[in-house]
A and B are shown apart, each in its own frame.
Chain A
Amino acid sequence: MARFSGVDFYEIDSLLSEEERQIRDHVRGWVEDRYLPLVERAYEEAYFPAEVIPEIAEMGLLGATLPEKYGCAGVNALAYGLAMQELERGDSGLRSFASVQGSLAMYPIYAYGSEAQRMKWLPRMAKGELVGCFGLTEPDFGSNPAGMITRAERKVGGYVLNGAKMWITNGTIADLAIVWAKLRDEDTGRDDIHGFILEKGMKGFSAPEQKRKHSLRASVTSELILQDVVVPEENLLPDAVGLKGPLGCLSQARFGIAFGVVGSAMACFHAAAEYSKSRVQFGRPIGGFQLVQERLADMLTQITQAQLLCVQLGRLKERGTVRTEQISLAKRNNCEMALEVAREARDVLGANGITAEYPVMRHMCNLESVKTYEGTHNIHTLVLGEAITGIAAYR
């Protein structure tokens, strides 16, 4: 198959700075040379190829938008998004690793942590020496995180946490977990959600891996179990009170997903287009038949639309004016788009589409998760519904 050289039907490159293009192209080159040779086996045998962590850290892909002061690259939002696109062209599991480390573990420490917490954790996380995870979702509270049962109780010098989290990317391999739990405000008597930094090895804290997945197989998914875990005062994130803390992190991560899935879609489109030109049936390449051409035309159109959405989303984020519902629109649209492209590509490849010879089925199975995690498709629909009508359907 011809080497992947991007999808750019609308000269979208001309909307990017030279630096943004260079960052994207370097990440693309790395994925092609270093990651793609590993991924099929990792997916089949269901493990995260952890040997890539130092390499993506060395490139500066962990917490890439955070300031250089903390050992991060300090790139702009669009460059970061394009890097996520390229990582996910490799595999959603790889992009998930980077998203969770950067947006869900490093970002809350940066945004809600004290300067001492930032200096303690961020440089080592940027280097990939420490892996982080994010515990919000619970077995019985997914789309409705406000209902969580995980709870912190004050005790001398800190807190005691009890509860359980589920569907936690990186959980088992994580050195620290940002865990969100309810804590009673002594003055108001009200429960507020707070973020705590839990460290591997704390008594009563375990993170067993969730096995038997048919999706995101090259990624670690875990439960977090908290039984009377004693967390010192210094591990409370001081500046996050209420659900807006974790939701702020999710906005960061969803931004990366909106770009990332375009990468998956590109991988599938590329595979389908190349296959259609070489697969001969009835005496000609199947790409010469109208039904196949229509599919390819639809895929290209959808990818192009999603790319343009991403560029503007990136610019809005750089300006600091982006609204969460705009991120919802892009996450919702692009995940659905990528899933459709993957399914159509699988169909173009016929029986070959289900094999590990091609990346299509792997992406397709991954995207079923990506559509659901970090705010399901349906929840983002309701976010948009509220933005349009002013009436929240889910509260």
Chain B
Amino acid sequence: MIQVVCIKQVADSETRVKIGADGKSLDPSGVTWILNPYDEFAVEQALRVKEKLGAGEVIAVSLGGAGVQATLRNVLAMGADRAIHLKTNSPADPLQAARALAAAIRDLGAQIVWFGRQAIDDDAAQVGPMTAELLQLPCVTSIASFELEGTTATVERDIEGGREVVEVTLPAALTTDKGLNEPRYASLKGIMAAKKKPIDERPLELGEAGLEVVSLALPAARSAGRIVGQGTAAVPELLRVLREEARVL
């Protein structure tokens, strides 16, 4: 079975990001780049499916600048068989990304196209469903469990106050949520083997953008707290402040 995993390289959540001089993009200097954590679940699940079937191919696909290859290499080290790098230095909006991915995936004959439920940088959660739509595949988002029986996958989704069980016939697109699995650590052998696995580099011309990021801003610095008094004597004043000034009561 051929499976495709679409991955995104994102800034490590531990990185203190700075906004670039243009006021609408991140300053890439000093940023540590990682595989989007939600995508790790997608990679892991694809590898588990392949291991269980004992055969097949897992292809990782990503778009972005040259630096993306380090993250693709990590996915190859985890066990993916090959990678496709859609090379562009321009930022892509979700639909542009989905179109590029759909065009790259269409002829691969994938039975499952995996995505993380969202990227932790822009939190758009759009690329998975949009790519599925462009490929005319059924799509189940935010899956928290996965069972495969022949060409039918049974998946569970966490929904408000409960769990939804969905059956989907392959080929399908699935986006993965936390809790689906515990992603593996690449082994030393895997890292060595990854060096020899092919990354197919394809120049990418992005179509017209539908969205424009107008500006980025860091959250406002929190203002200092105020001590209204001490001990039980301060309670009436605290209640008054919460009610009248903060208006939270």
Residues in A lying within 8 Å of B, measured CB to CB: 2-3, 5, 18-19, 22-23, 26, 29-30, 55, 58-61, 64, 68, 73-75, 79, 83
> Which of the residues A3, A5, A22 comes within 8 Å of B191, measured between beta carbons?
A22
A18 with B73: in contact, given A2-B14, A3-B14, A5-B14 (CB under 8 Å)? yes
C-alpha spacing A19/B192, complex, angstroms: 7
Say if the beta carbon of B136 comes within 8 Å of chain A: no
> Which of the residues B14, B185, B187, B194 comes within 8 Å of A73, measured between beta carbons?
B187
Looking across the interface, which residue of chain B has its beta carbon closest to that of A25? B74
Q: How far is the CB of B10 from chain A (nearest CB, A)?
A: 16
A61, B188: Cβ atoms under 8 Å? yes
A18, B188: Cβ atoms under 8 Å? no
B14, A59: Cβ atoms under 8 Å? no
B189, A19: Cβ atoms under 8 Å? no
Looking across the interface, which residue of chain A has its beta carbon closest to that of B16? A2
Say if the beta carbon of B186 comes within 8 Å of chain A: yes
Residues in B lying within 8 Å of A, measured CB to CB: 14, 32, 70, 73-74, 77, 184-192, 194-195
A59, B185: Cβ atoms under 8 Å? yes
C-alpha spacing A60/B187, complex, angstroms: 6
C-alpha spacing A39/B122, complex, angstroms: 36
> Which of the residues B70, B186, B192 comes within 8 Å of A74, measured between beta carbons?
B192
C-alpha spacing A60/B73, complex, angstroms: 18
Looking across the interface, which residue of chain B has its beta carbon closest to that of A6? B32
> Which of the residues B70, B77, B184, B188 comes within 8 Å of A75, measured between beta carbons?
B188
C-alpha spacing A259/B214, complex, angstroms: 48
A73 with B192: in contact, given A3-B14, A22-B77 (CB under 8 Å)? yes
Q: Which A residues touch B77, using CB under 8 A?
A: 22, 26
A26, B192: Cβ atoms under 8 Å? no
C-alpha spacing A58/B184, complex, angstroms: 10
C-alpha spacing A60/B188, complex, angstroms: 5
Q: Which B residues touch A58, using CB under 8 A?
A: 184-185, 187
> Which of the residues A18, A26, A61, A68 comes within 8 Å of B70, measured between beta carbons?
A18
C-alpha spacing A172/B73, complex, angstroms: 40
A64, B73: Cβ atoms under 8 Å? no
B187, A22: Cβ atoms under 8 Å? no
B187, A19: Cβ atoms under 8 Å? no
B70, A79: Cβ atoms under 8 Å? no
C-alpha spacing A235/B24, complex, angstroms: 69
C-alpha spacing A18/B195, complex, angstroms: 9
C-alpha spacing A349/B192, complex, angstroms: 40
Q: Which B residues touch A23, using CB under 8 A?
A: 188, 191
A22, B189: Cβ atoms under 8 Å? no
C-alpha spacing A58/B187, complex, angstroms: 7
Q: How far is the CB of A29 from chain B (nearest CB, A)?
A: 7
Q: How far is the CB of A346 from chain B (nearest CB, A)?
A: 26
Looking across the interface, which residue of chain B has its beta carbon closest to that of A60? B188
C-alpha spacing A3/B34, complex, angstroms: 14
Interchain residue pairs A-B with the least CB separation, the first 3: A60-B188, A73-B188, A60-B187
Q: Which B residues touch A5, using CB under 8 A?
A: 14, 32
Q: Which A residues touch B185, using CB under 8 A?
A: 26, 29-30, 55, 58-59
Beyond known contacts A19-B195, A60-B187: 15 more, CB 8 A cutoff: A3-B14, A5-B32, A18-B73, A18-B195, A19-B191, A19-B192, A19-B194, A22-B73, A26-B77, A60-B188, A61-B188, A73-B187, A74-B189, A79-B188, A83-B188
C-alpha spacing A2/B15, complex, angstroms: 10
Q: Which B residues touch A55, using CB under 8 A?
A: 185
